[in-house]
Structure 1
Amino acid sequence: MGWFRRRYLDLLGSIYIYNEHRGYTSIDRVLEAVRARAPDDAALIAAIEKHRADERKHYLMFKRWFELQGRMPLRVGRTCGHIDRFVEIVFRRTIEDLDTQAIIASDDEFEKLCRVISLTEQRGHRQVEILLRHPLVTDDKVLMKIFRIIEKDEPSHWAPYDGWLKANGKRDPKWWERGIDSFIHSELLFVKLPVLFLNPWLGRRTDWADAHDPAEVKASAVPALG
């Protein structure tokens, strides 16, 4: 049972730290689009900047959790990234290949991106609520503190995107968009997680994901965790 729990938490933390890093680095693309489309909308820009800062903070908390254990995260990639898979399915290209200029120029493209981000953040909030009651998680005081902070931060993350959709008379997500969200989550939970859990060749990272971040992105504070 001890090995099972350690392996589960190790993999859980590795998936989360990947997604948090992916989150704040991807938001830079969103900010570029918003600043170009609505340079005078200070409230929207500030809300998205807070979202990015929170994602960076969450990444640093998971980084600290691994540091306290004296080990690096497992080497998981974009197949475990919720936003990666969502973007790939909806836009038919990776995050790196998204055409920022096309998103800036098109209400339809920006609208799709807002719904993808909003659904991803709402999924993340629901998952954290589950993990806060998970028997394999509750005994880890540092991890519980991290998830409580994330639970508190999350609702402000989808708010600016939902706010833009409503302010501009855009529709709510349709059943098929919610279906994609559920599919990605189920795929991770019932297929990818078990495969990674049982993979004896799954190695660890040799560097931190933020090692090559631009200097201005690195400036962020992390709460004391222990």
Structure 2
Amino acid sequence: MIVWFGSRYLDLLGSIYIYNEHRGYTAIDRVLDAVKVRSPEDTQLIAAIEQHRADERKHYVMFKRWFELRGTKPLALDRAFGHIDRFIEIMFGKTIDNLDTQEVINRDELFERMCRIISLTEKRGFKQVEILLKNRFVLGDRALTKIFKIIHRDEPSHWAPYDGWLKAHAKRDPKWWERMVDGFVHSELLFLKLPVLFLNPFMKRREDWADSAELDPDRRGALSTVST
């Protein structure tokens, strides 16, 4: 029973993370578009966000390889299990896919809001990884432990460019209610959606990979990281 529980837990954990990593780097493409139009001269900010995007992509590829080594694909999750998805839906009143990039470019307050959301999401992710690196089921999987150690190393640089932009433009820090929304989204996933998913034996797996239509030039480095 313990072996089954541990395997099921890691399967769900990996499925949630691979969804969020893919959602992360594809959503950052929208942010990059906005920054390049708003501040084309701010090459330092653009480079930092591009590195954030590259890290999210790398994390996705590592989880992909982890599933391949298990001989399976992740569960077919949707945006209900995405932290950034739910956060943006609540804060903007629309999904990421329906978010008007041009409107975010044109309106300072929307770009400012986006920066706070990303920063809070990344900081929440960092805290969660620290918890997972003490989890006995995670620690029992050598490859998965390596993945989370890499994420833990990368994560602090991910919120830095957004906090930096807010500070440089004299924008406010997140207010208590924004932190409360972040906490609500996390708690909703952890205490409601994850247990329901755990007990659902009918959840289907993906038939393809989320990045099937994308080129994969950075895959080789991630493969060696997970395989060793």
Fold shared per TM-score above 0.5: yes
The 2-side partners of 1:174 and 1:224 are apart by 39
1:170 equivalenced with 2:171 (yes/no): yes
Look up the match of 1:43. Answer: 44
Look up the match of 1:82. Answer: 83
Look up the match of 1:142. Answer: 143
Map Cα deviations across residues 100-123 of structure 1 (whole Å, 9 max, x no partner): 111111110000000000000000
User: Percent identity at matched positions?
Assistant: 66
Residue 201 of structure 1 aligns to a residue whose secondary structure is: coil
- Letter of the 2:154 partner, please give it: D
**Which structure 2 residues correspond to residues 6-85 of structure 1 after superposition, within 5 A?**
6-85=7-86
The 1-side partners of 2:96 and 2:112 are apart by 16
Q: Which runs of 4+ in 1 moved over 3 A?
A: none
1:219 equivalenced with 2:217 (yes/no): yes
Map Cα deviations across residues 92-140 of structure 1 (whole Å, 9 max, x no partner): 0000111111111111000000000000000000000000001121110
Map Cα deviations across residues 138-196 of structure 1 (whole Å, 9 max, x no partner): 11000000000000000000000000000000000000000000000000000000000
Look up the match of 1:3. Answer: 4
Map Cα deviations across residues 167-226 of structure 1 (whole Å, 9 max, x no partner): 00000000000000000000000000000000010111100000123x3xx332425211
Residue 211 of structure 2 aligns to a residue whose secondary structure is: helix
Unaligned stretches of 5+ residues in structure 1: none
The 1-side partners of 2:78 and 2:152 are apart by 24
Residue 50 of structure 2 aligns to a residue whose secondary structure is: helix
Look up the match of 1:153. Answer: 154
Q: TM-score, normalised by structure 2?
A: 0.96
The 2-side partners of 1:171 and 1:164 are apart by 11
Residue 97 of structure 2 aligns to a residue whose secondary structure is: coil
- Letter of the 1:58 partner, please give it: H
Residue 137 of structure 2 aligns to a residue whose secondary structure is: coil
**Which structure 2 residues correspond to residues 177-216 of structure 1 after superposition, within 5 A?**
177-213=178-214, 215=215
Give the superposed CA RMSD: 0.8
- Letter of the 2:194 partner, please give it: L
The 1-side partners of 2:67 and 2:113 are apart by 35
